Amino acid sequence: MVNPMVVGFAVATVLLYIVGYVKDPGNVSKAVRETLDLLFNPSQGFAYIVVAAFFLAGMLSILLPSEVIAAYLGREAGMKGILIGTAAGAVTPGGPFLFFPILLGLYKAGASVGALIAYISAWALLAVHRILTWEFPLMGLEFAASRVLVSLAIPVILGVAGQYIHDLLFSGP
């Protein structure tokens, strides 16, 4: 089955290239060069990072024993898994091109929906590397501490609620 999101991106891309061509036919070659530079320029290299991240995810799903994932992040781990997911999300560095393939590997290895929702939420709200690099130096200690303290419980709440909703909607009777 074809992924509708892929089709949507493909259609949007073709339409934008048509608009660019109508405005100036040279726009197409400029856009292609810019895209290739963004993907393969050694100083940026997003394509290399994404490919490496998916290889990492594939190996994680094989090397991490499903019993270990189940014990620490699986459905059976319950609140412990959600708390571990929260802690792991807070200390996981990198952008979404690295982060989500890792989550995919954990999911395939048996991590629960609740633990992964907590992981994603903590990564978005409590990422230590972003707090120390950006938020604290730019916004100051009072702001950073206030925001972090008010955000601490959110990944746990979302993990519990997400697992409940998932079980309600997608688990059999």
> CB of 158 within 8 A of CB of 119?
no
Q: What pLDDT, on a 0 to 100 scale, did the predictor assign at position 20?
A: 92
> CB of 21 within 8 A of CB of 28?
yes
- Distance from CA of residue 102 to its chain's centroid? 8
Q: What pLDDT, on a 0 to 100 scale, did the predictor assign at position 154?
A: 98
| pLDDT tens across the length of the chain (173 residues) | 788 888 898 899 999 999 999 999 999 999 999 888 877 877 766 777 778 877 877 787 778 778 888 899 999 999 999 999 999 999 988 888 778 888 888 898 899 999 999 999 999 999 999 999 999 999 999 999 999 999 999 999 999 999 999 999 998 66
Q: How far apart are CA 101 and CA 145, in angstroms?
A: 30
Nearest to 101 by CA among 43, 160, 59, 130: 59
- Distance from CA of residue 125 to its chain's centroid? 12
> CB of 147 within 8 A of CB of 116?
no
Neighbouring C-beta atoms of residue 60, cutoff 10 Å? 18
Q: What pLDDT, on a 0 to 100 scale, did the predictor assign at position 58?
A: 76
Residue spans per domain, the chain: 65-170
Q: What pLDDT, on a 0 to 100 scale, did the predictor assign at position 54?
A: 79
Q: What pLDDT, on a 0 to 100 scale, did the predictor assign at position 172?
A: 65
* pTM beyond 0.85, yes or no: no
